[in-house]
């Protein structure tokens, strides 16, 4: 009996005619084929003589033939009628069931809130899906915030977990961070204690000068502050990617190069105001504070002048390998061995130990400046280091220091036209500390990280945080193993991971199948592409250390909490640095994750041939095992396909596929460029097709591959569901879910973003899909049903 998906998974019914008619039809069919019923009712009924039984034989034969013909017509009519009833019952009666799970109701609320159904989907699908909400953040940013909310709920409910001693410290740290009353009550006292340990501050009049290099060593190793240069341990961005100490320029609070800023004088005034505020908060005499603050600005300005211009950074070497002994000769003001040994203990360093230097000329000039100031203004140099330390520690201080920092950031944003930034953001610890354009861009290219802009500015640009989010981020930075394990346990259990892997497998299979249909790809390239997909590693959800946490790694025996939050903060800074160093001293894994488990950025790493989808990305509203398949394939599935296509981006470059049909490939490339260029853009929206082309190709191909995978899934599995009250078929829901991922206010587009504006990320791929126009019944020639389409992927 035919079956279709229904509310309970299956609808079972019968369209057979009544038993009497069936048996008569079977008897007549049997006699026509020269056979007789074996026994039973049919045999007995044939022996009962009818009124027509006494007619001549010829009439009996004629009657039998007429009867057979009549029965054939009746049977055909019954089958046709039953088929019509079947069609109506399946597609009108059963149809897709409504998903009534709480996660589906939440998703429905999101779709109803963000969409604008008064707009015709065939003329403006972006407004149809995203036009009812002022989206100052993207869907990815909204998901990232929700993941932090989940971490907040975990940290604020310690009674819901069985905690060991290490996990308990994480909860205690978060609680102390949220205890703003205690932090405000302590005021600047804990910070003054730190300054005394460094020899005091000349402005306060209580100063016991320490050896300059001893002070510098303490600042670097105990407080994470690098006033003249930055040193960090990271893998080299080129093969063999071995960990090495890298030395680079310091982070500057403000740009202090006059030629680059129109409001240079005003920037200096705002920075001077900020430094004066810090000095007075520490109890310094205003006149003395102003003098020392001006000197600090002068030092920073001179250091800034030593930096290579960006164009020279791009043309120069990524780094230069030298030994510590050689570096000591070229920049003698710094006791390099002593400072680096203290910072990177328990590493064992010697004068012959190699280090990677990103700007040797800067270090030479910096050394000369330090030697000059040590001979003339040693007290001012101490003040410069102390003022910088206060800025570094401001996230752990009371609200007066944090407010001073926030005001500076706001003023600089207004004067430079850039968004406010978190200055000296010490909590971003799992990314390379490479500030110059060339090294940072090269590292991004080497890792080929996708799913977000791989730029220093993007990582440090943040709006003002509520207190809970600040404390979640600090706790996550210091107790990453603990929070990773708790987040995975809460948000990415075995069933969710299994469903995500099943989705990825369907997407990967569809990718391979789609490559078989590309008209521009030759058979040899197809075979190579298939081999590359087969050899690809996928990391889903979280690293192994989060999926199977080792309790020994979460003891945090070196962390001492209290008596003040600042002291707890500093203890955590030192503990984290030691853990990072120890991890680099261990055998280097095949792939070191570049995102946290609660992160939302998927990426593909070229060196490791690994694609990574963190657990934070595979969450509502992008993915849930209880969602309709249309949602999972349209949202998370299209993201997966997008990332997989980046593996083959080189095929699209000139000469990248020498055996392919270059004429057909070039035609497809030009077609896609023209397709995107034809769309109107909202006012204030930037679009540069040459810069966004790779992402545009991945968006368009990703949608097509996800759609192909979803179509195959519907053939093999029944029981599809949809969202109630949305009036969308499963196919329409697939496209709606794809668009939801791209929802964002177009006016927030960064001109340097490698992705197209959100309107194009929706209209470009969807209008290139004939299935979209068919399922939304778009008239030919409308925006979403153009006269021609492109097939690149």
Let me know if 52 is a catalytic residue. Answer: no
Residue 420 structure tokens: 């406010």
Indicate which residue of 270, 643, 720, 753 is catalytic.
643
Q: How far is CA 693 from CA 122, 247, 575, 676, in A?
A: 24, 35, 44, 9
Alpha helices in 89-207 (DSSP H): 102-114, 125-130, 139-155, 165-178, 180-186, 189-197
Which pair of tokens denotes residue 76?
Answer: 């055909």
Which one, of 552, 547, 553, 515, lies nearest residue 534 by Cα? 515
User: Using CA atoms in the order 396, 397, 401, 406, what is the torsion angle rounded to 10 degrees?
Assistant: 30
Taking the CA atoms of residue 642, residue 647, residue 652 and residue 655 in that order, the dihedral angle to the nearest 10 degrees is 180
CA–CA separation, 43 and 23 (whole Å): 11
The residue among 25, 19, 70, 27 whose CA lies nearest residue 47 is 27
Two tokens, residue 537: 């590693």
Sign of the dihedral defined by the CA atoms of residues 338, 225, 483, 182, in that order: positive
- What b/e string do you get for 679-718 counting C-beta neighbours within 10 Å, with b at 16 or more? beeeeebebeeebbbbbbbbbbbbbbbbbbbbeebbeeee
Query: What whole-number distance in Å separates Cα of residue 50 and Cα of residue 583?
Result: 97
Residue 739 CB partners (closer than 8 Å, separation 6+): 125, 126, 128, 129, 130, 762, 766
Q: Which of 270, 699, 720, 753 is catalytic?
A: 699
Quote the CA–CA distance of 337 and 244 in Å, as a whole number: 15
Q: Which residues pair with 12 in a beta bridge?
A: 3
- Listed in sequence order, the residues at least 6 apart from 298 whose beta carbon sits closer than 8 Å to its beta carbon are none
Residue located via tokens 């059963």:
94
Q: What angle do CA 477, 479, 482 make, to 5 degrees?
A: 130
Alpha-carbon span 220 to 240, nearest angstrom = 28
**DSSP E strand stretches across 179-318:** 200-201, 206-207, 230-235, 243-248
Structure tokens at 589: 């894994």
699 has catalytic annotation:
yes
Phi, psi of 564 (to 5 degrees): -110, 160
Distance from C-alpha of 325 to C-alpha of 329, rounded to nearest angstrom: 7
Q: Which residues are catalytic?
A: 643, 699
């Amino acid at each position: 009996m035919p079956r279709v998906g229904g509310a309970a998974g299956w609808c079972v019914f019968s369209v057979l005619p009544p038993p009497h008619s069936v048996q008569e039809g079977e008897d007549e069919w049997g006699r026509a084929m020269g056979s007789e019923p074996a026994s039973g009712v049919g045999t007995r009924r044939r022996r009962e003589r009818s009124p027509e039984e006494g007619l001549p034989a010829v009439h009996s034969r004629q009657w039998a033939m007429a009867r057979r013909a009549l029965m054939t017509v009746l049977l055909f009519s019954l089958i046709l009628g039953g088929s019509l009833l079947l069609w109506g019952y399946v597609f009108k009666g059963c149809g897709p069931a409504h998903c009534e799970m709480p996660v589906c109701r939440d998703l429905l609320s999101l779709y109803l809130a963000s969409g604008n159904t008064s707009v015709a989907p065939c003329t403006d699908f972006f407004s149809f899906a995203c036009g009812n909400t002022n989206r100052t953040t993207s869907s990815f940013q909204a998901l990232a915030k929700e993941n932090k909310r989940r971490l907040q709920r975990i940290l604020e409910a310690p009674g819901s977990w069985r905690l060991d001693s290490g996990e308990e410290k994480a909860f205690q740290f978060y609680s102390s961070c949220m205890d703003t009353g205690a932090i405000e009550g302590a005021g600047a006292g804990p910070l003054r204690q730190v300054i005394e340990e460094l020899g005091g501050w000349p402005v306060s009049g209580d100063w016991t000068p320490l050896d300059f290099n001893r002070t510098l060593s303490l600042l670097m190793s105990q407080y994470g502050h690098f006033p003249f240069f930055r040193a960090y341990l990271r893998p080299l961005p080129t093969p063999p990617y071995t960990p090495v100490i890298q030395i680079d320029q310091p982070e500057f609070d403000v740009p202090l190069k006059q030629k680059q800023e129109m409001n240079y004088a005003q920037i200096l005034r705002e920075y001077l105001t900020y430094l004066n505020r810090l000095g007075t908060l520490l109890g310094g005499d205003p006149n003395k504070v102003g003098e020392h603050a001006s000197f600090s600005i002068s030092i920073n300005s001179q250091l800034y002048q030593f930096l290579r211009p960006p164009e020279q950074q791009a043309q120069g070497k990524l780094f230069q390998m030298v030994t510590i002994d050689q570096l000591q000769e070229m920049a003698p003001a710094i006791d390099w061995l002593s400072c680096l040994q203290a910072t990177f203990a328990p590493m064992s360093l010697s004068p012959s130990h190699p280090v990677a230097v990103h700007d040797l000329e800067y270090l030479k000039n910096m050394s000369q400046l330090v030697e000059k100031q040590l001979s003339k203004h040693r007290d001012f140099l101490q003040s410069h280091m102390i003022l910088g330390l206060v800025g570094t520690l401001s996230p752990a201080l009371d609200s007066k220091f944090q407010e001073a920092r926030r005001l500076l950031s706001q003023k600089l944003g207004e004067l430079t036209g850039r968004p406010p930034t978190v200055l000296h953001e010490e909590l971003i610890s799992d990314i390379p500390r490479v500030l110059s354009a060339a090294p940072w861009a090269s590292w991004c290219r080497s890792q080929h990280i996708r799913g977000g802009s791989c730029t220093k500015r993007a990582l440090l640009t943040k709006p003002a945080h509520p207190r809970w989010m600040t404390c979640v981020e600090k706790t996550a930075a210091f107790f990453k193993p603990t929070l990773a394990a708790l987040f995975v346990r809460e948000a990415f259990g075995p069933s969710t991971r299994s469903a995500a892997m099943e989705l990825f497998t369907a997407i990967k299979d569809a990718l391979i199948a789609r490559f078989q249909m590309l008209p521009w790809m030759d058979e040899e390239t197809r075979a190579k592409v298939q081999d590359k997909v087969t050899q690809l590693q996928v990391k889903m959800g979280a690293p192994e250390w989060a999926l199977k946490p080792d309790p020994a790694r979460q003891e945090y025996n070196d962390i001492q909490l209290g008596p003040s939050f600042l002291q707890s903060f500093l203890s955590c800074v030192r503990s984290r640095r030691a853990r990072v160093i120890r991890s680099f001293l261990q055998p280097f894994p095949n792939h070191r994750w570049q995102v946290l488990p609660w992160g939302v950025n998927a990426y593909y790493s070229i060196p490791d041939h690994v694609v990574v989808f963190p657990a934070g990305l595979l969450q509502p509203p992008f993915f849930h095992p209880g969602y309709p398949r249309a949602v999972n394939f349209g949202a998370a599935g299209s993201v997966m396909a997008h990332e997989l296509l980046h593996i083959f981006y080189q095929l699209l470059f000139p000469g990248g596929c020498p055996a392919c049909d270059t004429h057909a490939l070039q035609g497809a490339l030009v077609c896609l460029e023209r397709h995107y260029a034809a769309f109107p853009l909202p006012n204030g929206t930037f679009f540069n097709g040459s810069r966004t082309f790779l992402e545009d190709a991945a968006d368009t191909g990703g949608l097509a591959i996800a759609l192909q995978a979803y179509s195959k899934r519907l053939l093999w599995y029944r029981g599809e569901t949809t969202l109630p009250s949305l009036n969308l078929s499963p196919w329409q829901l697939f496209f709606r879910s794809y668009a939801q991922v791209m929802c964002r206010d177009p006016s927030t587009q960064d001109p340097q973003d490698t992705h197209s504006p959100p309107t194009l990320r929706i209209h470009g791929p969807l209008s290139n899909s004939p299935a979209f126009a068919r399922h939304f019944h778009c008239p030919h020639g409308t925006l979403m049903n153009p006269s021609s389409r492109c097939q690149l992927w």
